[in-house]
Structure 1
Amino acid sequence: MALDVKCEVRNCVHNNDGISCGAEEIYVVSHKGKKANHSEETDCKTFEPANV
């Protein structure tokens, strides 16, 4: 589990210092439904498809 979450959205209430996220949980969505093949298809820059 990641301990250090980065965020570039400076006007978010959870953005602590312009780069760090202080939210208690992170919610990532896919633009392709329930499955994605590339990070560009999600709102998560660190997305990597699982081998399922």
Structure 2
Amino acid sequence: MRIEVKCEVENCKYWAEGDQCVADSIMVVADRGHQAVNERETICDTFEKV
């Protein structure tokens, strides 16, 4: 199953034209523990600076 993942972080090595994320997998974690109250409390651990 293919899932489209959008990303606006242009300095990530997995960012591609059209705000596409081209990583093989995505790891998203909560900022504190294992629960997030809103999207601002999440972090993409897949990020790698170019």
TM-score under structure 1 length normalisation? 0.65
**Structure 1 residues without counterparts, runs of 5 or longer:** 45-52
SS of aligned partner of 1:40: helix
**Structure 2 residues without counterparts, runs of 5 or longer:** 45-50
**Cα RMSD after superposing both structures:** 2.1
Percent identity, aligned pairs only, is 43
Q: Which has the higher strand share?
A: 2
The list of structure 1 runs, each at least 4 consecutive aligned residues, that deviate by more than 4 angstroms after superposition, is: none
Larger Rg: 1
- Name which structure has the greater RCO, CA cutoff 8 Å, separation 6+: 2
